């Protein structure tokens, strides 16, 4: 069977950028077709953000129950420690993914978006040929939105397969590895490495740079490094994986010595790369910027009425950036004037403890900035949750007190990211946050106190 479809908007990719764009197009009355070769939801929903956070959540509960069984100093005791059934845990995780996947499909249907399942290949900038289980479909559209996402970077000397796994396979393991070796101490490697350590694996980290989480400043990373050390996670910094020798990974250490490390699984987390091949980008006359698709502030490419969003267009490769760009592009196609110029895009690292960074760091703000922080050890809510490690930090201009950055490290601080982003987006000054009544007892009080401290009159420190 062969079919030709005419559409106002064609969206390639059903991840968080693509499906949000398609839904918004439908809401705006635009005839829209979305093409997805895999499952709706993309990397974040199917094999990234959502499933990893589900595993991280349960790993934390497992660790807490084990701690209570070993020490009942809080007045609660267990007669035995928890027992892990990793297969059942993964099945529970899959249930959450399936429910959200079905929800995305329902939302697209509600917005009257036609979803075509199959692999697409562009013959020119506005014509896509899709191989589906029922035959070939040719789609011709006035506007094309490229939202093909990204994939894990594979090391040439350690191709994925057998014991060498990416984050996707790590989230589907049916048996807990006795020893997990993680190559890369960025946020993906540490999030998963910490989760598996909590579940009972022995974990070793190999990182080529001289510190973990190199995208964050040392002060934010210090509590995470402390946790790794206290939980006997072996971290090799300034070290380089060289390949396999039998079943062992050959590693060149910081002192140029070579060691061999045996592990049940080797998790490679050395970054992600945009999906720019395999679907005919080379036939679209679209300019590239290095390995990314080149776009302007409206996410327009060099080809008229061809747009690109999300991981395809550069860092940061984050779900919320892709979704915001997708919504914006839909509104531009509908005739609205928009541009993607956010005051800041928050980044969250779900390590132990969590890290949030929004806006400029103290180093980026320069010597004329006012910097103040408030420790969670002085926050009543944090202490009541046994979460006194970490702090909230505020960075502001000295001359007009405009807040240009807010960071935090501590348990559950990811939930503060919205307030951080909102303050920067609204152009808040220190006095704005200081004059906002924050509920007690909450972790958000630490932001209030950090702001007061920046103004020279903190109350609780």
Reported as a single tens digit per residue, the pLDDT across 271-294 is 999 999 999 999 999 999 999 999
Residue 60 resides in a domain: no
d(CA 351, CA 359) in angstroms, rounded, equals 20
Residue 85 resides in a domain: no
pTM equals: 0.94
- Pick from 329, 345, 314, 310: which is nearest to 149 by CA? 310
Residue 71 resides in a domain: no
Last residue of a domain, one of 215, 237, 270: 270
74 pLDDT higher than 80: no
Q: Are residues 141 and 35 in the same domain?
A: yes
d(CA 391, CA 388) in angstroms, rounded, equals 8
- Pick from 130, 122, 100, 114: which is nearest to 40 by CA? 100
- Catalytic annotation, pick one of 143, 401, 440, 457: 440
* 145 contacts 329 by C-beta, under 8 angstroms: yes
Q: Are residues 114 and 11 in the same domain?
A: yes
Q: Are residues 261 and 279 in the same domain?
A: no
Q: Are residues 448 and 354 in the same domain?
A: yes
Average pLDDT over residues 334-360: 97
Catalytic residue list contains 440: yes
Render pLDDT for 78-119 as a digit per residue (tens, 0 to 9). 888 899 999 999 999 999 999 999 999 999 999 999 999 999
Q: What angle do CA 215, 216, 220 make, to 5 degrees?
A: 165
Please, is 394 exposed, middle or buried when counting C-beta atoms within 10 Å of its C-beta (0-12, 13-18, 19+)? buried
Residue 70 resides in a domain: no
Q: Are residues 442 and 392 in the same domain?
A: yes
Residue 255 resides in a domain: yes
Average pLDDT over residues 247-266: 95
Residue 83 resides in a domain: no
H or E segment and range at residue 184: none
| Residue 400 pLDDT grade (very low, low, confident, very high; cuts 50, 70, 90) | very high
Render pLDDT for 134-184 as a digit per residue (tens, 0 to 9). 899 999 999 999 999 999 999 999 999 999 999 999 999 999 999 999 999
| Residue 1 pLDDT grade (very low, low, confident, very high; cuts 50, 70, 90) | low
Q: Are residues 37 and 142 in the same domain?
A: yes
**What total number of domains does the chain contain?**
3
Domain range for 422: 347-454
| Residue 226 pLDDT grade (very low, low, confident, very high; cuts 50, 70, 90) | very high
Last residue of a domain, one of 226, 241, 270: 270
Last residue of a domain, one of 285, 300, 333: 333
Please name the residue ranges forming H helices in 291-379: 319-333, 362-365
Q: Are residues 277 and 266 in the same domain?
A: no
Query: Which residues are CB-contacts of 116 (< 8 A; sequence separation ≥ 6)?
Result: 5, 33, 34, 35, 36, 130, 132, 137, 139
| Residue 390 pLDDT grade (very low, low, confident, very high; cuts 50, 70, 90) | very high
- pLDDT recorded at residue 69: 87
Q: Are residues 277 and 257 in the same domain?
A: no
Phi, psi of 149 (to 5 degrees): 75, -150
Q: Are residues 120 and 174 in the same domain?
A: no
Q: Are residues 146 and 15 in the same domain?
A: yes
Residue 15 resides in a domain: yes
Average pLDDT over residues 326-348: 97
* 231 contacts 197 by C-beta, under 8 angstroms: yes
Q: Are residues 352 and 415 in the same domain?
A: yes
Average pLDDT, the chain: 96
Residue 395 resides in a domain: yes
125: domain CATH number? 3.50.50.60
């Amino acid at each position: 069977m062969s079919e030709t479809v005419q559409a106002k908007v064609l969206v390639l990719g059903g991840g968080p950028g693509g499906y949000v764009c398609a839904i918004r197009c439908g809401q705006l009355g635009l005839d829209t077709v979305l093409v997805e070769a895999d499952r709706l939801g993309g990397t974040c929903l199917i094999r990234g953000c959502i499933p990893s956070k589900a595993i991280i959540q349960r790993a934390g509960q497992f660790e807490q129950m084990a701690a209570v069984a070993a020490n009942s100093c809080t007045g609660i005791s267990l007669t035995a420690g928890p027992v892990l059934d990793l297969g059942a845990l993964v099945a529970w995780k899959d249930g959450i993914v399936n429910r959200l996947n079905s929800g995305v499909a329902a939302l697209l249907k509600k917005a009257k978006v036609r979803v075509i399942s199959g692999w697409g290949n562009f013959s020119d900038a506005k014509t896509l040929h899709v191989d589906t289980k029922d035959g070939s479909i040719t789609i011709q559209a006035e506007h094309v939105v490229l939202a093909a996402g990204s994939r894990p970077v594979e090391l040439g000397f350690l191709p994925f397969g057998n014991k060498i796994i990416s984050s996707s396979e790590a989230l589907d393991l049916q048996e807990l590895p006795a020893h997990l070796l993680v190559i890369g101490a960025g946020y993906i490697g540490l999030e998963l490495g910490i989760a598996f350590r909590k579940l009972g694996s022995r974990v070793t980290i190999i990182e080529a740079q001289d510190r973990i989480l190199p995208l964050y400043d040392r002060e934010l990373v210090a509590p995470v490094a402390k946790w790794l050390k206290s939980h006997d996670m072996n971290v090799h910094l300034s070290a380089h994986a060289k390949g396999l020798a039998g079943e062992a990974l050959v590693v060149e250490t910081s002192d140029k010595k070579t060691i061999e490390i045996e592990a049940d699984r080797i998790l490679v987390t050395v970054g992600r790369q945009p999906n720019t091949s395999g679907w005919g980008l080379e036939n679209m006359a679209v300019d590239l910027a290095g390995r990314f698709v080149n776009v302007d502030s409206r996410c327009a490419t060099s080809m008229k009425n061809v747009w690109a969003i999300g991981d395809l267009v550069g860092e940061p490769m984050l779900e919320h950036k892709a979704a915001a760009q997708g919504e914006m592009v839909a509104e531009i196609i509908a005739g609205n004037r928009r541009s993607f110029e956010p005051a800041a895009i928050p980044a969250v690292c779900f390590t132990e403890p969590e890290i949030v960074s929004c806006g400029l760091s103290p180093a980026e703000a320069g010597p004329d900035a006012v910097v103040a922080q408030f420790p969670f050890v002085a926050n009543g809510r944090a202490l009541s949750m046994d979460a006194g490690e970490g702090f909230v930090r505020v960075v502001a201009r000295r001359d007009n007190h405009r807040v240009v950055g807010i960071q935090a490290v501590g348990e559950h601080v990811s939930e503060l990211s919205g307030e951080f982003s909102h303050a920067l987006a609204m152009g808040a000054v220190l006095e704005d946050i200081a004059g906002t009544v924050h509920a007690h007892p909450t972790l958000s009080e630490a932001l209030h106190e950090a702001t007061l401290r920046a103004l020279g009159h903190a109350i609780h420190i």
